[in-house]
Structure 1
Amino acid sequence: MRPTILWQGRPSPLMHLGLYLSCVFLLPFPLALWRYLQVRTTRYTLTTERLVCEQGILHRTSDEVELYRIKDYTITASLLNRWLGLSDLILVTSDQTHPTLVLRGIIDAHAVKELIRNQVEALRTQKGVREID
């Protein structure tokens, strides 16, 4: 059975607004373009079983974390990001390759966190998984 997509998102390009504005006055345009392409080629997909993070301009990387491995959640936002309604969602996991996973520039990160949390709890109950530290 194929997992159902519960949420899909990308980082907001506005999270680098300061960089874009400084490029108008100080920095070269290619730096701002490169950063914009990095943001636009990043995609987060939450399914009923895992969280998939795809990123890369020239070299594409796709990382998957099983939801039942997520242990803790933190939401952070700079002053500018708070004004823009953006936050970073930091997930602490028991995954060997990605013990900390950061979803950057997420709109309404609190709702996304709750969606992930509810799915983690449902999956742990369904599979009978208990996290031991």
Structure 2
Amino acid sequence: MNTTPPESPPLLLTYESKRSYGVVWGAVAFLLLGLPFLGRQRITITDQRIIIQQGFWTKTSDDIEIFRIRDVVVKQSLYHRMVGIGDVVIKSMEGRSEELHVLKGVPGPDAVSAVIRNAWNAVARPKGPATALD
């Protein structure tokens, strides 16, 4: 019997920005393939998990349970700050080992980090009044 509540609609749905490839890689991809968006990441954040899908020829899907998240870090180079994108690094615990998940070239990385933090607060924080143990 499944006791977990059903997932709500996504809180955030975003894609890796095409600008994160840079001028050279974008030109090479366009000339060789004609489609510079191949292999982009698709990121879906719900109230229970984060789903990262990537790849064109070989699709990879990675799920991160919200309650397993331990830290979220935003990384932006000077160029990324100028164009408004960045990388969001999610540190999570799987069993006894820590895993790193990188959301590359995300537009508005601070807003994405805030959505993840709010979802974590809703899931991981205890409900009800606080109690003190004496």
After TM superposition, the score normalised by the length of structure 1 is 0.78
After TM superposition, the score normalised by the length of structure 2 is 0.78
Q: Deviations over 1:79-132 (max 9, x none)?
A: 2211110010001110259700111111111111111101101101258xxxxx
| Residue 87 (structure 1) aligned with residue 86 (structure 2) | yes
Query: Alpha carbon RMSD of aligned pairs, Å?
Result: 2.5
Structure 2 CA distance for aligned equivalents of residues 22 and 55 of structure 1: 21
Q: Deviations over 1:46-98 (max 9, x none)?
A: 00100000111111111101001111111111222111100100011102597
Q: Structure 1 113/44 Cα, relative in aligned 2: closer, same or farther at 3 Å?
A: same
Deviation at 1:34, TM superposition (A): 6.9
Aligned to 1:38: 39
Aligned to 2:20: 15
Q: Structure 1 6/29 Cα, relative in aligned 2: closer, same or farther at 3 Å?
A: same
Aligned to 1:131: none
| Residue 6 (structure 1) aligned with residue 11 (structure 2) | yes
Aligned to 1:29: 31
Q: Structure 1 124/3 Cα, relative in aligned 2: closer, same or farther at 3 Å?
A: same
| Contact persistence 2:26–2:36 (CA under 8 A) | no
The AA in structure 2 aligned to 1:50 is R
Structure 1 CA distance for aligned equivalents of residues 98 and 59 of structure 2: 17
Identical pairs, percent:
26
Residue-pair matches, total = 121
Aligned to 1:118: 118
Aligned to 1:108: 108
The AA in structure 2 aligned to 1:63 is D
Q: Structure 1 2/121 Cα, relative in aligned 2: closer, same or farther at 3 Å?
A: closer
Aligned to 1:73: 72
| Contact persistence 2:30–2:36 (CA under 8 A) | no
| Contact persistence 1:11–1:43 (CA under 8 A) | yes
Give the unaligned 5+ runs of structure 2: 1-5, 128-134
Give the unaligned 5+ runs of structure 1: 128-133
Runs of 4+ in 1 over 2 A off after TM superposition: 1-4, 17-23, 33-36, 95-98
Larger helix percent:
1
